[in-house]
Copies of this chain bind each other. A is one copy, B any other.
Amino acid sequence: MSQFAQETAVEQIAETVWRGELCEGWRVGAVPNGGYVLAVAGRALSAALPHKDPLTVSAFYLAPTELGPVDCKVEILRLGRNTSFAEVKMYQQGELRVKVTAAYTDLAGLQGENWSAAPPPQFPGWDACEPSGQKGIEFRQRAELRLVSGNEVFRKREPNGSGEFQGWVRHRDGSDPDAISLLMFADAFPPPVFTIFGPLGWVPTLELTVQVRAHPAPGPLQGRLYCRHLTRGVVEEDGELWDSSGQLVAISRQTAKLRVPKS
């Protein structure tokens, strides 16, 4: 069993409650990565719903989470033939920390037209790319990152001004990604505002929505996280993830706040 599968596992402790554990290894500072927390909710939804795969999942982060047990209270909102809808309230110490709403489906059964305005990335291979120069981020013990662009800001303190990080991500233990892991990998790049202002400050996520499009093929994921509009401290972070075969597997958007420390 992969480390990710172990550390996002949930067990049913009541008719509508699944308990997970937020584990060491996933934190940025003191707080577990928001995508990792969302993946735990994703496991509870897979367990509770007849459809097992996330299609669209949206989380609001009400209060910082911490290491330890997390109770996922699932409310089914509607069960359809192709799509199930549910919400999850995530509690720690009796306090509501994260609120998730989701549409689940059977990804393998999706049928319809295909079209793309954006070709898959043509990155150099994993081995040819630089390990992320981020220092002291516990989360990198689990989500291993090789950057293709943006790394100058960590290696040389030179923001390139692009508002974008590009690169490869994978589980550190080498296990292959599954559909639930895309909820975590959608939040696995550094905040793109770092490429503009430097790796300063704190960029807490208010809300994160992930659209999953397909089960990923084995191997690392190629992706990008970028921002286009920072408005008085509020910024979106848009992500795209492709699998190793070049198939788009997820897109994401979050609302974050940039807190620059007073210098």
* A residues with CB within 8 A of B: 55-56, 58, 60, 62-63, 77-78, 83, 85, 87, 96, 99, 101, 103, 110-118, 163, 193, 196-197, 206-207, 209, 211, 213-214, 226-234, 236, 240, 248, 251, 253, 255, 257-260
**Other-chain contact of A78, B63, B233, B253, B258 (Cβ < 8 Å):** B63
Task: Given the known inter-chain contacts A62-B85, A103-B206, please indicate yes or no for A116 contacting B229, CB distance below 8 A.
Answer: yes
Q: Is the CB of A207 within 8 A of B112?
A: no
Sample (22) of A-B pairs whose CB atoms are under 8 Å apart? A58-B60, A58-B101, A60-B77, A60-B103, A62-B77, A78-B96, A87-B99, A101-B101, A111-B232, A112-B232, A112-B234, A112-B258, A112-B259, A113-B193, A114-B230, A117-B229, A118-B229, A211-B236, A214-B231, A214-B232, A229-B240, A229-B251
Task: Given the known inter-chain contacts A115-B196, A234-B213, please indicate yes or no for A255 contacting B55, CB distance below 8 A.
Answer: yes
Task: Determine the main DSSP class of A at the interface with B.
Answer: strand
**Other-chain contact of A209, B96, B118, B207, B251 (Cβ < 8 Å):** B207
The 3 tightest CB contacts between A and B, nearest first, are A112-B233, A110-B232, A213-B231
Contacts of A83 in B (CB 8 A): 206
Q: Is the CB of A110 within 8 A of B231?
A: yes
**Other-chain contact of A99, B85, B196, B233, B260 (Cβ < 8 Å):** B85
Task: Given the known inter-chain contacts A63-B78, A99-B101, A233-B110, please indicate yes or no for A207 contacting B260, CB distance below 8 A.
Answer: no
Contacts of A63 in B (CB 8 A): 78
Q: Is the CB of B58 within 8 A of A58?
A: yes
Task: Given the known inter-chain contacts A78-B63, A85-B99, please indicate yes or no for A111 contacting B213, CB distance below 8 A.
Answer: no
**Other-chain contact of A56, B56, B207, B231 (Cβ < 8 Å):** B207
Contacts of A228 in B (CB 8 A): 116-118
Task: Given the known inter-chain contacts A99-B101, A117-B163, A231-B213, please indicate yes or no for A56 contacting B112, CB distance below 8 A.
Answer: no
Task: Given the known inter-chain contacts A101-B60, A101-B101, please indicate yes or no for A55 contacting B112, CB distance below 8 A.
Answer: no
